[in-house]
């Protein structure tokens, strides 16, 4: 089984990655380590798997990757990459309601 996990260094993504590796699967992980919340925390999360022999760890933005090549031979894609926090994903960090 070959899986791709985006957002792999986040809380959920890192635990999913560890579980997939424990199942004996080959895992390709992607995370851009954005600064929205502590990149140091995400680096700690990824430390458990980034050097695993069945894990290919890509510290890159999905917008900069050849997605057809990345996803081409994957059996499963877990897309967990996202902007954390719904309010901030709507634009500026003001407290106004989006129109």
Q: What is the mean pLDDT of residues 9-29?
A: 96
| 39: confidence class by pLDDT, cuts 50, 70, 90 | confident
pLDDT of residue 71: 96
Q: Is 95 a member of any domain?
A: no
pLDDT of residue 90: 67
pLDDT of residue 30: 96
Residue span of the structural domain in which 73 resides? 2-83
41-95 residue pLDDT tens: 888 889 889 899 999 999 999 999 999 999 999 999 999 998 766 666 666 554 4
Structural domain count of the chain? 1
Q: Is 89 a member of any domain?
A: no
Q: Is 55 a member of any domain?
A: yes
Q: Is 90 a member of any domain?
A: no
CATH code of residue 30: 3.40.50.720
Q: Is 26 a member of any domain?
A: yes
Dihedral angle at the C-alpha atoms of 5, 10, 12, 14, nearest 10 degrees?
A: 60
Residues near 97 by Cβ (< 8 Å), separated by ≥ 6? Answer: none
């Amino acid at each position: 089984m070959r899986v791709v996990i985006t957002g792999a260094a986040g809380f959920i993504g890192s635990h999913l990655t560890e579980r997939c590796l424990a199942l004996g699967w080959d895992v390709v992980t992607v995370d851009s380590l954005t600064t929205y919340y502590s990149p140091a925390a995400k680096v700690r999360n990824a430390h458990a798997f980034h050097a695993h022999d069945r894990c290919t760890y890509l510290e890159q933005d999905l917008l900069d990757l050849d997605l057809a090549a990345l996803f081409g031979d994957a059996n499963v894609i877990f897309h967990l990459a996202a902007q954390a926090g719904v309010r901030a994903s709507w634009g500026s960090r003001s407290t106004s309601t989006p129109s």
